[in-house]
């Protein structure tokens, strides 16, 4: 029982982080209709941004996260303008493989610029945990969870209350109608892509205190992020939150029942089952 509560607590915290890094992916899909295979590379860039800010400015990664968001978000808008905009009307295969090319360029570019070292930060709270009775709550996990929740709420507020956010949601729901009502679809896509990869970079920065960054770190997250957004429903932001928590909890709980080696197997089977039975995801609306 105790082990179950502990696993649930761990799962919720880690799941909150998965949610934020995956919201970006689902946002990009929702507005642009593109599955971005390079999304996890922006997570890597966010981690590097936070690492350099920690190493040279002495900024805690949690505080560096908004800066990582801005930097990588800007890079994302540039990427959209220079690359993705040109394949918006190309076949889906070309779109997917453009992002695969981007993945290769970003990973190897990072290796060129940053080298192959594994970099990690040291912060005072890194090796601390709160003890609630017999349950451990890891401080870096908790902080990452809180930061994720705040950024998630901020995004929600932006999409609901700001004119840009409303325009973006309109574009996601019906691009044609949005254009007819005077929304600049290109600008919306630029904004969505910037926001999407920026959020993922933000997530990268907040997990840096308990993880390590190297040019290949994106590979650890790419399939995981797909799983989250598919389970939640491609394009659904609330779905990504549910999907993230779901994946975090499944990962954590499956360790109690199955060998930990099979952690991902359990996840992928759920993934396929969800696609087969409810392709619109747990929360997605039927299109």
Partner 1 sequence: MTRPTKLAAAALALLAALCLPLGLDHQGYAIRVATLVFLFGAMAQSWNVVGGLANQMSLGHAAFFGIGAYTSTLLLIHAGLSPWLGMLAGGVLGGLAAALISLPTMRLSGHYFALATLAFGEVMRVVANSWAGLTGGPVGLSVPFAPDSLALFNFKSTVPHYYIALAALCLVTAIFVWIRNSALGYRLRAVRENVDAAEVVGVDTARTKLVAAVISGVLMAMTGTLYAQLNFFFDPDTVFGAAPISIRVALIAIVGGVGTAIGPIVGALVIIPLEEAANLFLSSQVAGLSGFAYGLILIAVILVQPHGLAAIGRRFQRKSKGAS
Partner 2 sequence: MADRTIGTGRTTRRVALAGMGGAVAAPALLRSAWAAEAVNVGVAVPLSGANAQFGVNSRNGIELVADQVNAAGGIKALGGAKINLVIADSTSTPTSAANVAQRMITQNRVSAILGAFASSLTIAISEVTERRDVPLLTMSFADQVTGRGFKNVFQVVAKASAIGAAQFDGTLAIAKAAGQTLERVAIMYEDTAYGTAQAVGLRDGAKKAGVQLVMDDAYPLGITDVTPLINKLRASGAQAVFPVSYLSDSLQIIRVMRQQGITIPAIGGAAGYVIPDFEKGLGEFAEGVLSISPANYDLAPELTDAFRKRYGYFMVHEALEHAVCMDVLVQAIEKAGKADPASVRNALAGGRFEGGWTKAMTGGAVQFDAAGLNTLSVPVMVQWRQKELVTVWPDQFAKGKAVWKS
Measure the CA–CA gap between 239 and 283, rounded to whole angstroms.
5
Q: Do the beta carbons of residue 252 and residue 7 sit within 8 Å?
A: yes
Q: Give the chain's length.
A: 287
Q: Could you tell me which stretch among 124-132, 145-153, 177-185, 226-234 binds partner 2 (CB under 8 A)?
A: 124-132
Q: Give the E-state strand segments of the chain in sequence order.
A: 129-132, 135-138
CA dist 215 → 42, 108, 194, 223 (Å): 11, 7, 21, 17
Q: Residue 278 interacts with partner 2 (CB under 8 A)? A: no
Measure the CA–CA gap between 249 and 242, rounded to whole angstroms.
11
Q: Give the contacts of 72 (CB within 8 A, at least 6 positions apart).
A: 42, 45, 46, 49, 197, 198, 200, 201
Q: Is the dihedral of CA 23, 61, 46, 72 positive or negative?
A: positive
Distance of closest approach, residue 277 Cβ to partner 2, in angstroms:
25
230 binds, among partner 1, partner 2, none (CB under 5 to 8 A by kind): partner 1
Measure the CA–CA gap between 103 and 99, rounded to whole angstroms.
6
Lay out the site mask for partner 2 across 140-179 (x = CB under 8 A, - = otherwise): xx--------------------------------------
Print burial letters for 31-41: b (CB count within 10 Å at least 16), e (below 16). Answer: bbebbbbbbbb
138 binds, among partner 2, partner 1, none (CB under 5 to 8 A by kind): partner 2
Q: Could you tell me which stretch among 27-35, 139-147, 197-205, 231-239 binds partner 2 (CB under 8 A)?
A: 139-147
Q: Could you tell me which stretch among 136-144, 173-181, 198-206, 271-279 binds partner 2 (CB under 8 A)?
A: 136-144
Distance of closest approach, residue 261 Cβ to partner 1, in angstroms:
5
Q: Residue 282 interacts with partner 1 (CB under 8 A)? A: no
DSSP string covering 194-206, please? HHHHHHHHHHHHH
Q: Residue 261 interacts with partner 2 (CB under 8 A)? A: yes
Lay out the site mask for partner 1 across 192-231 (x = CB under 8 A, - = otherwise): -----------------------x-------x--xx--x-
Q: Do the beta carbons of residue 259 and residue 271 sit within 8 Å?
A: no
30 binds, among partner 2, partner 1, none (CB under 5 to 8 A by kind): none
Residues engaged in binding partner 1 (CB under 8 A):
29, 35, 83, 86-87, 90-94, 96-98, 100-105, 107-112, 115-116, 215, 223, 226-227, 230, 234, 259, 261-262, 264-265, 268-269, 271-273, 275-276, 279
Rule CB under 8 A: which residues touch partner 2?
Answer: 3, 6-7, 10, 14, 108, 111, 116-120, 122, 126-129, 136, 138-141, 210-212, 214-217, 219-221, 224, 248, 251-252, 255-256, 259-261, 263-264
């Amino acid at each position: 029982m105790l082990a179950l509560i502990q696993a649930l607590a761990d799962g919720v915290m880690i799941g909150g982080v998965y949610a934020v890094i995956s919201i970006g992916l689902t946002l990009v899909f929702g507005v642009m209709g593109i599955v971005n295979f390079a999304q996890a590379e922006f997570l890597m860039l966010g981690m590097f941004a936070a690492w350099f800010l920690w190493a040279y400015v002495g900024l805690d990664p949690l505080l560096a996260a908004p800066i990582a968001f801005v930097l990588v978000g800007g890079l994302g808008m540039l990427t959209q303008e220079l690359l993705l905009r040109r394949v918006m009307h190309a076949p889906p295969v070309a779109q997917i493989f453009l992002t695969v090319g981007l993945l290769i360029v970003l990973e190897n570019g990072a290796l060129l610029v940053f080298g192959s070292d594994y970099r990690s930060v040291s912060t005072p709270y890194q090796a601390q945990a709160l003890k609630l009775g017999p349950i451990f709550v890891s401080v870096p996990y908790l902080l990452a969870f809180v930061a994720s929740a705040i950024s998630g709420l901020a995004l929600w507020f932006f999409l609901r209350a700001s004119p840009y956010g409303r325009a973006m949601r309109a574009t996601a729901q019906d691009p044609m109608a949005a254009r007819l009502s005077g929304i600049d679809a290109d600008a919306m896509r630029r904004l969505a892509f910037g926001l999407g990869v920026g959020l993922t970079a933000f997530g990268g920065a907040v997990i840096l205190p308990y993880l390590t960054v190297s040019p290949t770190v994106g590979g650890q997250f790419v399939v995981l992020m797909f799983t989250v957004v598919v389970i939640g429903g491609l394009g659904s932001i609330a779905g990504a939150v549910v999907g993230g928590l779901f994946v975090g909890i499944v990962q954590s709980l499956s360790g109690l029942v199955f060998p930990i080696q099979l952690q991902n197997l359990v996840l992928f089977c759920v993934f396929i089952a969800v696609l087969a039975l409810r392709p619109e995801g747990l929360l997605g609306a039927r299109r």
